[in-house]
Structure 1
């Protein structure tokens, strides 16, 4: 069993109520390669949180939903490719790291958009008014 480091009081205060922000510039920069576009992998509605994990040579994202009965949806990423996974614009309660996975619990149900841009996988929170037209 690995020993876990305590988080500082300053770190706790900074993390509480914070929204995860973009890895890209505020002007919406892309990967920097001309002609490359983000590929939509999937859209998910009413997610309560997600699990990021790597097993052997494969990365995957598991999305879970709120309710009496926990159910999940898996987003399988191609094997033998190491991805940088970014979580953007999603208000969250807490993040739990337990090797080899990370769990992120959202403040409330959130619609998600999962895209791929080369070796980057980007999970973005989508405001409800954009999905309910």
Structure 2
């Protein structure tokens, strides 16, 4: 196996892991929205879920209350966007959060998702592009 083949295989593996992580975070965001609908609005729904997940998955990062709020907002923002919903699965979580928090309309979000996806922009490159 050549070095190029190895790097290509590693990249495909990272893409698969990323897609699964985004799908998980989407599902958690959806669950939060459903719990809030069922039990009423409130921070306690998110705080309780964060506590449950942290107990269940000791040592696993990403289940803080603040990140769960991001998952909720991520789901709410892209849930009804047939075009953007599949694209967000093709970039990393950090890139998605940057775009979600810095870009206020779907056209701008589409542009930066495409740029990050197509050109493999790093976090700092993405931030610089949006800020400029």
TM-score (normalizing by structure 1)? 0.23
**Structure with a larger share of its residues in helix:** 2
Larger Rg: 2
Higher relative CO (Cα under 8 Å, sequence separation at least 6) belongs to 1
